[in-house]
Structure 1
Amino acid sequence: MLLLAMDTATPAVTVALHDGTAAVAASGQVDARRHGELLLPAVDRVLAEAGAGLDAVTGIVVGVGPGPYTGLRVGLMTADTFGLALGVPVHGVCTLDALAYAAEDVEGPFVVATDARRKEVYWARYADRRTRLTEPAVDRPADLAGDVTELPAVGAGALLYPGTFTDPRGPQHVAAAALAALAAERLAAGEELLEPRPLYLRRPDAQVPKNYKVVTPQ
Protein backbone atom coordinates (compact mmCIF):
# COMPACT_ATOMS: atom_id res chain seq x y z
CA MET A 1 0.00 0.00 0.00
CA LEU A 2 1.23 3.47 -0.86
CA LEU A 3 -1.34 6.20 -0.30
CA LEU A 4 -0.94 9.74 -1.62
CA ALA A 5 -2.97 12.01 0.68
CA MET A 6 -3.87 15.67 0.26
CA ASP A 7 -6.14 18.25 1.85
CA THR A 8 -6.98 21.84 0.86
CA ALA A 9 -10.13 22.34 2.95
CA THR A 10 -8.39 24.69 5.41
CA PRO A 11 -5.71 27.36 4.88
CA ALA A 12 -3.17 24.51 5.01
CA VAL A 13 -2.03 22.96 1.73
CA THR A 14 -0.89 19.57 2.96
CA VAL A 15 0.35 16.41 1.22
CA ALA A 16 1.72 13.10 2.53
CA LEU A 17 2.77 9.68 1.33
CA HIS A 18 1.80 6.77 3.60
CA ASP A 19 2.89 3.14 3.25
CA GLY A 20 0.05 1.70 5.34
CA THR A 21 2.12 1.77 8.52
CA ALA A 22 3.51 5.30 8.71
CA ALA A 23 3.97 8.46 6.71
CA VAL A 24 7.18 8.22 4.68
CA ALA A 25 7.13 11.87 3.57
CA ALA A 26 4.96 14.92 4.22
CA SER A 27 4.66 18.58 3.28
CA GLY A 28 2.51 21.38 4.65
CA GLN A 29 2.21 25.11 4.06
CA VAL A 30 -0.41 27.52 5.39
CA ASP A 31 -1.60 29.97 2.74
CA ALA A 32 -5.34 30.38 2.25
CA ARG A 33 -4.99 32.11 -1.14
CA ARG A 34 -2.57 29.82 -2.99
CA HIS A 35 -4.02 26.30 -2.84
CA GLY A 36 -3.90 25.85 -6.61
CA GLU A 37 -0.37 27.18 -6.86
CA LEU A 38 1.10 25.17 -3.99
CA LEU A 39 -0.53 21.74 -4.22
CA LEU A 40 1.25 20.12 -7.18
CA PRO A 41 4.75 21.31 -6.13
CA ALA A 42 4.01 19.80 -2.71
CA VAL A 43 3.15 16.48 -4.35
CA ASP A 44 6.45 16.60 -6.26
CA ARG A 45 8.40 17.33 -3.06
CA VAL A 46 6.78 14.48 -1.16
CA LEU A 47 7.43 11.95 -3.92
CA ALA A 48 11.03 13.12 -4.26
CA GLU A 49 11.60 12.93 -0.51
CA ALA A 50 10.23 9.39 -0.44
CA GLY A 51 12.19 8.38 -3.53
CA ALA A 52 8.99 7.12 -5.13
CA GLY A 53 7.46 7.61 -8.53
CA LEU A 54 3.83 8.56 -9.01
CA ASP A 55 3.26 5.16 -10.63
CA ALA A 56 4.02 3.49 -7.28
CA VAL A 57 0.93 5.04 -5.66
CA THR A 58 -1.84 2.50 -5.01
CA GLY A 59 -4.52 4.89 -3.76
CA ILE A 60 -5.41 8.55 -3.27
CA VAL A 61 -6.82 10.00 -0.06
CA VAL A 62 -8.39 13.45 -0.08
CA GLY A 63 -10.02 15.64 2.55
CA VAL A 64 -13.63 16.32 1.57
CA GLY A 65 -14.12 19.19 3.99
CA PRO A 66 -16.16 20.90 5.16
CA GLY A 67 -14.32 23.88 3.77
CA PRO A 68 -14.65 27.00 1.64
CA TYR A 69 -15.61 26.30 -1.96
CA THR A 70 -12.53 27.58 -3.80
CA GLY A 71 -9.86 25.90 -1.70
CA LEU A 72 -11.70 22.64 -1.21
CA ARG A 73 -12.29 21.98 -4.90
CA VAL A 74 -8.54 22.29 -5.67
CA GLY A 75 -7.72 19.20 -3.64
CA LEU A 76 -10.72 17.22 -4.83
CA MET A 77 -10.16 17.93 -8.51
CA THR A 78 -6.47 17.10 -8.19
CA ALA A 79 -7.25 13.84 -6.38
CA ASP A 80 -9.82 12.85 -9.01
CA THR A 81 -7.33 13.61 -11.79
CA PHE A 82 -4.59 11.51 -10.20
CA GLY A 83 -7.00 8.66 -9.57
CA LEU A 84 -8.17 8.67 -13.18
CA ALA A 85 -4.67 8.95 -14.62
CA LEU A 86 -3.23 6.20 -12.42
CA GLY A 87 -6.28 3.95 -12.40
CA VAL A 88 -6.31 3.79 -8.60
CA PRO A 89 -9.14 4.34 -6.08
CA VAL A 90 -9.76 7.77 -4.58
CA HIS A 91 -10.90 7.74 -0.95
CA GLY A 92 -12.58 10.66 0.83
CA VAL A 93 -12.10 11.49 4.51
CA CYS A 94 -13.84 14.22 6.48
CA THR A 95 -11.28 16.92 7.22
CA LEU A 96 -12.65 17.38 10.74
CA ASP A 97 -12.12 13.65 11.37
CA ALA A 98 -8.46 13.97 10.39
CA LEU A 99 -8.01 16.90 12.76
CA ALA A 100 -9.63 14.91 15.54
CA TYR A 101 -7.40 11.91 14.80
CA ALA A 102 -4.31 14.10 15.15
CA ALA A 103 -5.39 15.40 18.58
CA GLU A 104 -3.35 12.82 20.48
CA ASP A 105 -3.08 14.90 23.66
CA VAL A 106 -6.82 15.40 24.10
CA GLU A 107 -8.67 12.88 26.24
CA GLY A 108 -12.43 12.39 26.49
CA PRO A 109 -15.12 14.30 24.57
CA PHE A 110 -14.00 17.30 22.53
CA VAL A 111 -14.94 19.52 19.59
CA VAL A 112 -13.15 20.22 16.32
CA ALA A 113 -13.70 23.69 14.85
CA THR A 114 -12.19 25.18 11.69
CA ASP A 115 -12.54 28.65 10.21
CA ALA A 116 -15.58 28.89 7.91
CA ARG A 117 -15.15 32.64 7.34
CA ARG A 118 -18.21 34.95 7.58
CA LYS A 119 -17.60 34.86 11.37
CA GLU A 120 -18.63 31.17 11.41
CA VAL A 121 -16.95 27.84 12.12
CA TYR A 122 -17.25 24.36 10.70
CA TRP A 123 -17.51 22.02 13.64
CA ALA A 124 -18.36 18.56 14.94
CA ARG A 125 -18.36 16.87 18.32
CA TYR A 126 -16.24 13.79 19.11
CA ALA A 127 -16.28 11.11 21.80
CA ASP A 128 -12.59 10.38 21.12
CA ARG A 129 -10.04 10.70 18.31
CA ARG A 130 -11.80 8.10 16.15
CA THR A 131 -15.48 8.57 17.01
CA ARG A 132 -17.53 11.49 15.70
CA LEU A 133 -20.84 12.04 17.52
CA THR A 134 -22.46 14.68 15.29
CA GLU A 135 -22.62 15.49 11.61
CA PRO A 136 -20.36 18.36 10.49
CA ALA A 137 -22.14 21.71 10.73
CA VAL A 138 -21.52 25.40 10.14
CA ASP A 139 -22.61 27.98 12.72
CA ARG A 140 -21.71 31.25 14.37
CA PRO A 141 -19.70 30.43 17.52
CA ALA A 142 -22.07 32.49 19.66
CA ASP A 143 -24.96 30.25 18.56
CA LEU A 144 -23.34 27.04 19.80
CA ALA A 145 -24.63 25.46 23.00
CA GLY A 146 -22.63 25.87 26.19
CA ASP A 147 -22.07 22.13 26.54
CA VAL A 148 -20.24 22.30 23.19
CA THR A 149 -18.11 25.42 23.72
CA GLU A 150 -17.01 24.32 27.19
CA LEU A 151 -15.38 21.17 25.80
CA PRO A 152 -11.73 21.10 24.71
CA ALA A 153 -11.74 22.46 21.14
CA VAL A 154 -9.22 21.49 18.47
CA GLY A 155 -8.52 23.58 15.37
CA ALA A 156 -7.99 27.14 14.21
CA GLY A 157 -11.69 27.93 14.58
CA ALA A 158 -11.43 27.57 18.34
CA LEU A 159 -8.37 29.83 18.50
CA LEU A 160 -10.16 32.51 16.48
CA TYR A 161 -12.94 32.76 19.07
CA PRO A 162 -11.32 32.38 22.51
CA GLY A 163 -14.24 34.21 24.10
CA THR A 164 -16.55 31.38 23.01
CA PHE A 165 -14.37 28.28 23.10
CA THR A 166 -13.06 28.16 26.65
CA ASP A 167 -10.43 25.44 26.16
CA PRO A 168 -8.78 25.77 22.70
CA ARG A 169 -6.19 23.14 21.78
CA GLY A 170 -3.92 22.15 18.88
CA PRO A 171 -3.39 21.19 16.16
CA GLN A 172 -4.71 24.24 14.32
CA HIS A 173 -4.79 22.85 10.78
CA VAL A 174 -5.21 19.44 9.24
CA ALA A 175 -2.13 17.43 8.26
CA ALA A 176 -2.20 15.00 5.34
CA ALA A 177 -0.13 12.53 7.38
CA ALA A 178 -3.02 12.22 9.85
CA LEU A 179 -5.53 12.08 6.98
CA ALA A 180 -3.61 9.19 5.40
CA ALA A 181 -3.07 7.37 8.70
CA LEU A 182 -6.79 7.49 9.50
CA ALA A 183 -7.67 6.27 6.00
CA ALA A 184 -5.13 3.43 6.21
CA GLU A 185 -6.51 2.38 9.60
CA ARG A 186 -10.08 2.35 8.32
CA LEU A 187 -9.15 0.48 5.14
CA ALA A 188 -7.26 -2.14 7.15
CA ALA A 189 -10.39 -2.61 9.30
CA GLY A 190 -12.49 -3.16 6.18
CA GLU A 191 -14.41 0.08 6.63
CA GLU A 192 -15.87 1.91 3.65
CA LEU A 193 -14.53 5.42 3.19
CA LEU A 194 -16.37 8.43 1.81
CA GLU A 195 -16.81 9.23 -1.85
CA PRO A 196 -14.42 12.02 -2.94
CA ARG A 197 -17.18 14.59 -3.10
CA PRO A 198 -17.09 18.05 -1.48
CA LEU A 199 -18.77 18.70 1.83
CA TYR A 200 -19.57 22.41 1.40
CA LEU A 201 -22.48 22.83 3.91
CA ARG A 202 -23.40 26.16 2.30
CA ARG A 203 -23.49 27.89 -1.07
CA PRO A 204 -20.34 29.53 -2.50
CA ASP A 205 -19.66 33.21 -1.85
CA ALA A 206 -19.97 34.15 -5.53
CA GLN A 207 -23.63 34.32 -6.59
CA VAL A 208 -25.68 35.85 -9.39
CA PRO A 209 -27.09 39.24 -8.29
CA LYS A 210 -30.74 39.05 -7.26
CA ASN A 211 -31.83 41.76 -9.71
CA TYR A 212 -29.76 40.45 -12.58
CA LYS A 213 -31.37 41.38 -15.89
CA VAL A 214 -31.12 38.86 -18.71
CA VAL A 215 -30.72 40.46 -22.12
CA THR A 216 -31.54 38.30 -25.11
CA PRO A 217 -31.22 39.25 -28.80
CA GLN A 218 -34.39 40.35 -30.51
Structure 2
Amino acid sequence: MTLALSTSSPRVSVCLFESGGRVLGSRESLAQQGASGTTLELVDEVLRQAGVPLKEVRRFVADVGPGSFTGTRVAVMLAKVWAHANGGEAAGVSSFDLIEGEIVAVPTGKSRWLVRGKDELVFESREWRADWATYGSEGQPNSFPSAERAALLRERLRFLKPEVLTPAYGMDPSISRPKKPYGTAGGAP
Protein backbone atom coordinates (compact mmCIF):
# COMPACT_ATOMS: atom_id res chain seq x y z
CA MET A 1 0.00 0.00 0.00
CA THR A 2 1.17 3.54 -0.81
CA LEU A 3 0.29 6.83 0.89
CA ALA A 4 0.86 9.94 -1.24
CA LEU A 5 1.05 13.48 0.19
CA SER A 6 0.95 16.86 -1.55
CA THR A 7 1.53 20.00 0.51
CA SER A 8 3.41 22.25 -1.94
CA SER A 9 0.38 24.47 -2.68
CA PRO A 10 -2.40 26.05 -0.60
CA ARG A 11 -4.46 22.87 -1.18
CA VAL A 12 -3.26 19.84 0.79
CA SER A 13 -4.13 16.41 -0.60
CA VAL A 14 -3.52 12.81 0.47
CA CYS A 15 -4.24 9.52 -1.27
CA LEU A 16 -3.95 5.88 -0.24
CA PHE A 17 -3.66 3.41 -3.12
CA GLU A 18 -2.80 -0.22 -3.80
CA SER A 19 0.18 -1.37 -5.88
CA GLY A 20 -2.10 -1.79 -8.92
CA GLY A 21 -3.27 1.82 -8.64
CA ARG A 22 -6.70 1.26 -7.09
CA VAL A 23 -7.44 4.24 -4.84
CA LEU A 24 -8.62 3.22 -1.37
CA GLY A 25 -9.15 6.76 -0.13
CA SER A 26 -8.40 10.33 -1.08
CA ARG A 27 -8.98 13.70 0.60
CA GLU A 28 -8.03 17.32 -0.01
CA SER A 29 -8.52 20.58 1.84
CA LEU A 30 -7.53 24.20 1.48
CA ALA A 31 -4.83 24.99 4.05
CA GLN A 32 -3.39 28.46 3.50
CA GLN A 33 -1.61 28.10 6.85
CA GLY A 34 -1.07 24.97 8.89
CA ALA A 35 -0.36 22.39 6.20
CA SER A 36 1.09 19.97 8.75
CA GLY A 37 -2.03 19.84 10.95
CA THR A 38 -4.35 19.62 7.94
CA THR A 39 -2.26 16.84 6.42
CA LEU A 40 -2.36 14.79 9.62
CA GLU A 41 -6.15 15.16 9.81
CA LEU A 42 -6.59 14.12 6.17
CA VAL A 43 -4.28 11.12 6.54
CA ASP A 44 -6.25 10.01 9.60
CA GLU A 45 -9.53 10.31 7.65
CA VAL A 46 -8.21 8.39 4.63
CA LEU A 47 -6.72 5.57 6.69
CA ARG A 48 -9.88 5.27 8.79
CA GLN A 49 -12.03 5.22 5.62
CA ALA A 50 -9.90 2.43 4.15
CA GLY A 51 -9.66 0.52 7.44
CA VAL A 52 -5.87 0.51 7.21
CA PRO A 53 -3.60 1.38 10.15
CA LEU A 54 -0.63 3.62 9.33
CA LYS A 55 1.79 0.92 10.51
CA GLU A 56 0.70 -1.28 7.57
CA VAL A 57 1.68 1.31 4.95
CA ARG A 58 5.18 0.62 3.60
CA ARG A 59 5.46 3.08 0.71
CA PHE A 60 5.16 6.85 0.92
CA VAL A 61 5.17 9.42 -1.88
CA ALA A 62 5.86 13.11 -1.27
CA ASP A 63 5.24 16.08 -3.55
CA VAL A 64 8.79 17.48 -3.56
CA GLY A 65 7.90 20.76 -5.26
CA PRO A 66 8.43 23.22 -6.66
CA GLY A 67 6.05 25.13 -4.47
CA SER A 68 5.74 26.63 -1.03
CA PHE A 69 9.07 26.42 0.81
CA THR A 70 7.51 25.41 4.13
CA GLY A 71 4.64 23.43 2.64
CA THR A 72 6.94 21.29 0.51
CA ARG A 73 8.95 20.33 3.59
CA VAL A 74 5.80 19.07 5.35
CA ALA A 75 5.12 16.26 2.83
CA VAL A 76 8.79 15.35 2.54
CA MET A 77 9.29 15.19 6.31
CA LEU A 78 6.14 13.14 6.94
CA ALA A 79 6.96 10.68 4.15
CA LYS A 80 10.51 10.25 5.45
CA VAL A 81 9.49 9.80 9.09
CA TRP A 82 6.67 7.36 8.39
CA ALA A 83 8.72 5.33 5.89
CA HIS A 84 11.58 5.10 8.37
CA ALA A 85 9.27 4.17 11.29
CA ASN A 86 7.48 1.50 9.23
CA GLY A 87 10.62 0.05 7.65
CA GLY A 88 9.40 1.22 4.27
CA GLU A 89 10.46 3.29 1.28
CA ALA A 90 9.81 6.81 0.05
CA ALA A 91 9.56 8.38 -3.39
CA GLY A 92 9.38 11.96 -4.56
CA VAL A 93 7.18 13.30 -7.32
CA SER A 94 7.25 16.77 -8.86
CA SER A 95 4.30 19.07 -8.25
CA PHE A 96 4.33 19.57 -12.04
CA ASP A 97 3.38 15.89 -12.41
CA LEU A 98 0.60 16.19 -9.85
CA ILE A 99 -1.15 18.97 -11.80
CA GLU A 100 -3.15 17.81 -14.80
CA GLY A 101 -2.33 19.73 -17.97
CA GLU A 102 0.03 19.91 -20.93
CA ILE A 103 1.62 23.17 -19.82
CA VAL A 104 1.84 23.46 -16.04
CA ALA A 105 2.84 26.56 -14.07
CA VAL A 106 3.67 26.79 -10.37
CA PRO A 107 3.53 30.29 -8.85
CA THR A 108 6.84 31.38 -7.29
CA GLY A 109 5.95 34.88 -6.21
CA LYS A 110 3.98 37.89 -7.25
CA SER A 111 3.43 37.58 -11.02
CA ARG A 112 6.15 34.92 -11.42
CA TRP A 113 5.81 31.25 -12.37
CA LEU A 114 7.96 28.23 -12.99
CA VAL A 115 6.52 26.67 -16.13
CA ARG A 116 6.98 23.17 -17.52
CA GLY A 117 5.99 22.80 -21.13
CA LYS A 118 5.12 19.81 -23.29
CA ASP A 119 8.83 19.22 -23.90
CA GLU A 120 9.46 18.85 -20.12
CA LEU A 121 11.71 21.94 -20.08
CA VAL A 122 11.21 24.23 -17.09
CA PHE A 123 11.51 28.00 -17.43
CA GLU A 124 10.59 31.07 -15.40
CA SER A 125 7.96 33.49 -16.68
CA ARG A 126 6.69 36.86 -15.49
CA GLU A 127 3.61 36.72 -17.74
CA TRP A 128 0.67 34.41 -17.17
CA ARG A 129 -1.01 32.64 -20.10
CA ALA A 130 -4.57 31.34 -20.18
CA ASP A 131 -3.56 27.89 -21.47
CA TRP A 132 -1.49 27.06 -18.38
CA ALA A 133 -2.76 24.69 -15.70
CA THR A 134 -1.93 26.56 -12.50
CA TYR A 135 -3.24 28.14 -9.32
CA GLY A 136 -2.87 31.52 -7.69
CA SER A 137 -4.43 34.94 -7.87
CA GLU A 138 -4.36 35.82 -11.56
CA GLY A 139 -8.00 34.91 -12.16
CA GLN A 140 -7.23 31.62 -13.86
CA PRO A 141 -9.08 28.45 -12.93
CA ASN A 142 -7.27 26.76 -10.06
CA SER A 143 -5.57 23.49 -10.84
CA PHE A 144 -3.71 22.34 -7.73
CA PRO A 145 -1.31 19.43 -7.31
CA SER A 146 -3.31 16.31 -6.42
CA ALA A 147 -1.86 13.38 -4.46
CA GLU A 148 -4.35 11.12 -6.26
CA ARG A 149 -2.37 11.57 -9.50
CA ALA A 150 0.50 9.66 -7.84
CA ALA A 151 -1.56 6.48 -8.33
CA LEU A 152 -1.56 7.17 -12.09
CA LEU A 153 2.21 7.75 -12.01
CA ARG A 154 3.03 4.66 -9.91
CA GLU A 155 5.06 2.99 -12.69
CA ARG A 156 7.41 6.01 -12.82
CA LEU A 157 7.99 6.33 -9.06
CA ARG A 158 11.46 5.44 -7.76
CA PHE A 159 11.23 4.22 -4.18
CA LEU A 160 14.37 4.67 -2.11
CA LYS A 161 15.53 4.68 1.48
CA PRO A 162 13.60 7.48 3.20
CA GLU A 163 16.70 9.48 4.17
CA VAL A 164 17.48 10.06 0.47
CA LEU A 165 14.22 11.96 -0.19
CA THR A 166 14.80 15.73 -0.54
CA PRO A 167 12.67 18.70 -1.62
CA ALA A 168 13.13 20.36 -5.02
CA TYR A 169 12.04 23.86 -4.14
CA GLY A 170 12.65 25.50 -7.51
CA MET A 171 12.94 28.90 -5.83
CA ASP A 172 14.76 30.57 -2.97
CA PRO A 173 13.02 30.95 0.39
CA SER A 174 11.44 34.33 1.06
CA ILE A 175 13.04 35.37 4.33
CA SER A 176 12.96 38.86 5.75
CA ARG A 177 15.41 40.48 8.14
CA PRO A 178 14.41 40.38 11.81
CA LYS A 179 13.14 43.64 13.30
CA LYS A 180 15.50 43.10 16.24
CA PRO A 181 18.86 41.41 15.75
CA TYR A 182 19.04 38.05 17.53
CA GLY A 183 20.77 37.93 20.90
CA THR A 184 20.48 41.62 21.74
CA ALA A 185 18.34 43.39 24.30
CA GLY A 186 15.97 45.84 22.70
CA GLY A 187 17.66 45.45 19.35
CA ALA A 188 20.79 47.38 20.36
CA PRO A 189 24.26 45.78 20.02
Q: Going by fraction, where is helix more abundant, 1 or 2?
A: 1
Count the aligned residue pairs.
180
CA deviation digits over 1:81-112, x for unaligned, max 9? 11111111110000111213xx4xxxxxx310
Unaligned runs of 5+ in 1: 104-109, 128-132, 143-148, 163-167
1:203 to 172, 175, 179: 172
Cα-to-partner distance string for 1:153-179 (whole Å, 9 max, x where unaligned): 21215xx436xxxxx6x6611111112
Paired with 2:166 and 2:182, the residues of 1 have a C-alpha distance of 33
Higher mean displacement: 34-43 or 194-203: 194-203
TM-score calculated relative to the size of structure 1 = 0.72
Q: Is the 8 A contact 1:95 1:179 kept in 2?
A: no
**What is the TM-score normalised by the length of structure 2?**
0.82
Q: Tell me, in whole angstroms, the C-alpha distance in 2 between the residues paired with 1:31 and 1:86.
A: 27
Question: Is 1:155 matched up with 2:134?
Answer: yes
- 1:120 is matched with which residue: 112, 115, 118? 112
User: Hey, what does 1:45 align to over in structure 2?
Assistant: 45
Provide the rounded CA distance (Å) in 2 between the counterparts of 1:214 and 1:38.
34
Where does 1:145-184 land on structure 2 (aligned, <5 Å)? Answer: 149=129, 152-157=131-136, 160-161=137-138, 172-182=143-153, 184=154
Structure 1 contact 112–154 (Cα < 8 Å) conserved: yes
State how far apart, in whole Å, the 2-side matches of 1:60 and 1:15 are.
11
Measured at CA, do residues 214 and 25 of structure 1 come closer, stay the same or move farther in structure 2, by a change above 3 Å? closer
Q: What SS does the aligned partner of 1:176 have?
A: coil
1:140 aligns with 2:126: yes
2:27 pairs with 1:27: yes
Amino acid at match of 1:111: I
- Deviations along 1:129-156, one digit per CA (max 9) or x if unpaired, are xxxx213x443226xxxxxx47x32121
Quick one: structure 1 residues 48 and 69, their matched pair in 2 at CA, closer, same or farther if it must change by over 3 Å? same
**In 1, Cα distance between equivalents of 2:107 and 2:68:** 9
Q: Specify whether residues 193 and 208 from structure 1 end up closer, same or farther in structure 2 by C-alpha distance, changes over 3 A only.
A: farther
Change (3 A) 1:52 1:117: same
Q: What is the DSSP-based 3-state SS (H/G/I as helix, E as strand, rest coil) of the residue aligned with 1:28?
A: strand
1:186 lines up with 2:156 in the alignment: yes
Shift in alpha-carbon separation, 1:178–1:171, aligned structure 2, 3 A: farther
Any runs of at least 4 consecutive aligned residues in structure 1 with deviations exceeding 3 A, and if so which? 192-195, 212-215
The percentage of counterpart residues that share the same residue type is 26
Which residue number corresponds to residue 107 of structure 1?
none
State the distance in 2 between where 1:99 and 1:185 align. 17
